[in-house]
Amino acid sequence: MLSLLVGLTGLVVLTFYDWRNGVLVFAAGVVLAGFLRAFLSDNAAGLLRVRGRMFDTTLLVLVGLSIATLGLIVPN
């Protein structure tokens, strides 16, 4: 739930304020979801549990870091 809240906050910032900061907040939510998936039990992970723990964690962290990287290198 926490990662969803961070992601939605990023989308609000992206929509109404600054797109770059919104993308970075959204990316932080995705990376947070990856770390939560790594440390929460399978029952507590809920909807973060899609495949294996290692696959989910790796994919979420890599996607979050990719989004953040693209948000930083795209020119205004």
Give 13-59 pLDDT, tens digit per residue.
Answer: 888 898 888 899 999 999 998 998 888 887 777 777 778 888 888 99
What local confidence, expressed as pLDDT, does residue 75 receive? Answer: 83
**pTM for this entry:** 0.82
Query: How many domains, in total, are found in the chain?
Result: 1
Q: Which amino acid is at 12?
A: V
Residue 64, pLDDT > 90, answer yes
Inter-residue contact 63 to 26 (CB < 8 Å)? no
Q: Tell me, what's the pLDDT at 58?
A: 92
Distance of CA 4 to the CA centre of its chain: 8
